[in-house]
């Protein structure tokens, strides 16, 4: 698929999304649009899979034409179901396919004002069908290895919500219209690379995030920031055994890491909020990541960690900035925090996330995490933890500090930083500071990292080079002298001297301006005299 075709697919899907625009907020209708696209993907995937089995078996019938009521049809379905659940992780019958339901509901969008069509519309009710199908998809995985990956996957697609309409008929009519529009789009799963539809899905997620305000931070990291994190943690690697994101949102950051290497053996993630958790699993499957290769959990990462044994080769995250957590004293005996002697404050969990991630970082791994600037200089417990991470032979893990532009994340305008950690550092005697805060393009109200901005950050980090007014390699002794304050301006001087001002020239300009104003006043006074009115001065 060409770039133009890919863009066309993105535009087609966004046009379908706009079917619900104006009827509800972006963070509401995204659940329906993304859920229906995912359902269509599952349908097309299993149809291709089943037809391939039938063809290889010498059968001339197509899967979608199988009569489920006959004995022969039931035998076909039993055989295909076994193979599908084993290989794809789920199962759909021919009458549960997206195209079947969309066509069943399509008369609802025709002759909408015709009273003669009223009876036909009543007969083409599809909401109950959809509810049953979503439940059946989830239940088809029961007792199998893919059960956790499909359990409650469609729970955010609430077909009873009054946001869809005040009456059942209105809800039915709207959903039928959406399905009909989607049914006209050919995903071409048999002809395109796996990431094409997945990337289009990512495009939609980004579009929804841009309109979701503060809530966007729950599930999406801007693509260019993800690219920086991914390129950092894959430095010097072509394959990864594992990548982990403890606050994975929609899973976009995990999938971005996969684009930078030939293969990722396993993806691990955890997400507190239900909607992005469901979205992350859908996102994985839509990017053709096999269910056996990802493990996404739904729970509070700090309070209830789910991957206790994990040592990941790459760790990435964009945690919620300065979130609250319990900071319960019992965590002083938790292996993630015990060696530091102090816990991150309850009002700011930033360092708790850093400690958690470091605990799960493999000895040969790289970790990159987005943080608010406060972690660089705040004192008390945070200052103690920061010092421990720098001035301790066994935990000298901080490798680089990268300052990003302000207003680069959806929902907040504050400047942020990327902290890079390694357990086995090649340069344990210094820390690299990069001030990339001035490299961006302003698009409407948002600041965007350009490709050249990303490339400069990455090359500076990977080559570990100092550049005047951009980067600096600070010896640990200098950081100790600064009382472990990591505020970037202490190390990267970006001061630009203003052009000198010629005061004599300014004086001449002011005199000329005074003369010009006096001449203008005289002209106005003459006009007022001719008009026989009082002058305004």
Class of CATH domain 3-206: mainly alpha
**Structure confidence at residue 211 (pLDDT):** 66
Answer yes or no: is pLDDT of 111 > 80.
no
Residue in the structure block whose two tokens are 């329906």: 32
Amino acid 18: pLDDT: 84
* Token duo for residue 194: 């796996």
Statement: residue 119 has pLDDT above 60: no
**Alpha carbon distance 328, 354 (integer Å):** 17
Q: Does 3-206 match 213-490 in CATH topology?
A: no
The topology (CATH level 3) of 213-490 is Rossmann fold (3.40.50)
pLDDT of 107 reads: 63
Q: What average pLDDT does range 415-429 have in this prediction?
A: 94
Which tens digit of pLDDT belongs to each residue from 169-210?
989 999 999 999 999 998 888 776 656 788 888 888 888 877
For 120-146, what is the mean pLDDT? 86
State the pLDDT at residue 123: 45
**3-class state of residue 398 by DSSP:** strand
- How does pLDDT run across 321-348, given as a tens digit for each residue? 999 999 999 999 999 999 999 999 999 9
CA count, 13 A, side-chain hemisphere, 239: 4
- Specify the pLDDT at position 421: 97
> pLDDT tens digit string along 33-80?
999 999 999 999 999 999 999 999 888 899 999 999 999 999 999 999
Amino acid 113: pLDDT: 47
Mean local confidence (pLDDT), 92-121 = 69
Length of the chain: 537
Torsion angle defined by CA atoms of residues 72, 73, 78 and 83, in that order, rounded to the nearest 10 degrees? 110
As given in the structure block, the two tokens for residue 43 are: 């349908």
Q: Has residue 528 got a pLDDT over 90?
A: no
Q: 289-328 pLDDT, tens per residue?
A: 999 999 999 999 999 999 999 999 999 999 999 999 999 9
Mean predicted lDDT score pLDDT of the chain: 89
Residue pointed to by tokens 């269509």: 40
The pLDDT value recorded for residue 194 is 58
Domain-wise residue ranges, the chain: 3-206, 213-490, 499-537
In Å, how far are 305, 327, 336 from 332, measured between CA atoms?
Answer: 15, 9, 9
Mean pLDDT (whole number) for 508-534? 84
pLDDT band at 497 (very low <50, low <70, confident <90, very high): low
Band (360; pLDDT cuts 50, 70, 90)? very high
Q: Are 419 and 401 in contact (CB under 8 A)?
A: yes
482 pLDDT exceeds 50? yes
Residue 108: band (very low, low, confident or very high) from pLDDT cuts 50, 70, 90: very low
User: What span, in angstroms and rounded, lies between the C-alpha atoms of 520 and 522?
Assistant: 5
Give percent of the chain with pLDDT exceeding 70. Answer: 92
Q: What six digits make up the tokens of 5?
A: 């075709």
DSSP letter at 292 equals G
């Amino acid at each position: 698929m060409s770039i133009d075709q890919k863009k066309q697919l993105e535009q087609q899907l966004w046009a379908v999304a706009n079917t619900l625009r104006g009827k509800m907020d972006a963070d509401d209708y995204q659940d329906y649009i993304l859920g229906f696209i995912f359902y269509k993907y599952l349908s097309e995937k299993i149809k291709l899979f089943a037809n391939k089995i039938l063809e290889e078996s010498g059968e001339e019938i197509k899967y979608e034409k199988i009569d489920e009521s006959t004995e022969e049809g039931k035998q076909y379905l039993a055989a295909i179901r076994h193979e599908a659940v084993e290989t794809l992780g789920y199962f759909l019958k021919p009458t549960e396919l997206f195209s079947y339901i969309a066509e069943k509901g399509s008369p609802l969008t025709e002759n909408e004002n015709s009273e003669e069509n009223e009876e036909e519309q009543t007969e083409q009710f599809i909401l109950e069908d959809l509810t049953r199908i979503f439940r059946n998809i989830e239940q088809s995985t029961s007792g199998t290895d893919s059960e956790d990956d499909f359990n409650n996957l469609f729970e955010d697609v609430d077909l009873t919500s009054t946001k869809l309409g005040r009456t059942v008929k209105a809800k039915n009519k709207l959903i039928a219209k959406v399905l009909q529009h989607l049914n006209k789009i050919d995903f071409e799963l048999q002809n395109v690379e796996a990431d094409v539809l997945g990337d289009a899905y990512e495009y939609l997620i980004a579009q929804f995030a841009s309109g979701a305000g503060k809530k966007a931070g729950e599930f999406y990291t801007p693509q260019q920031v993800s690219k920086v994190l991914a390129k950092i943690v894959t430095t010097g690697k072509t394959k990864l055994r594992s990548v982990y994101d403890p606050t994975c949102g929609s899973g976009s950051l995990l999938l971005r890491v996969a684009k930078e290497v030939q293969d990722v053996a396993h993806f691990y993630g955890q997400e507190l909020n239900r909607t992005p958790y469901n979205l992350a699993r859908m996102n994985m499957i839509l990017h053709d990541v096999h269910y056996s290769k990802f493990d996404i959990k739904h729970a509070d990462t700090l309070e209830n960690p789910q991957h206790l044994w994990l040592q990941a080769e790459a760790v990435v995250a964009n945690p919620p900035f300065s979130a609250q957590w319990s900071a319960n004293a019992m965590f002083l005996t938790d292996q993630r925090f015990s060696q530091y002697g102090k816990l991150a404050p309850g009002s700011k969990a930033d360092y708790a996330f850093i400690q958690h991630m470091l605990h799960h970082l493999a000895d040969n791994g790289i970790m990159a995490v987005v943080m608010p600037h406060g972690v660089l200089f705040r004192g008390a417990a945070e200052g103690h933890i920061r010092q421990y991470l720098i001035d301790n032979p066994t935990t000298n893990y901080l490798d680089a500090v990268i300052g990003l532009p302000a207003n680069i994340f959806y929902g907040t305008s504050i400047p942020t930083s990327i902290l890079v950690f390694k357990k086995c550092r090649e340069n344990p005697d210094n820390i690299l500071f990069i001030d990339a805060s001035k490299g961006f393009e302003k698009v409407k109200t948002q600041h965007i990292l350009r490709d050249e901005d990303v490339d400069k950050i990455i090359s500076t980090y990977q080559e570990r080079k100092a550049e005047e007014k951009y980067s600096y390699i600070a010896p640990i002794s200098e950081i100790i002298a600064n009382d472990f304050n990591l505020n970037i301006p202490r190390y990267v001087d970006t001061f630009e001297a203003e052009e000198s001002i010629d005061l004599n020239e300014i004086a001449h300009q002011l005199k000329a301006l005074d003369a010009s104003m006096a001449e203008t006043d005289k002209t106005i006074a003459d006009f007022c005299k001719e008009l026989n009115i009082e002058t305004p001065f």
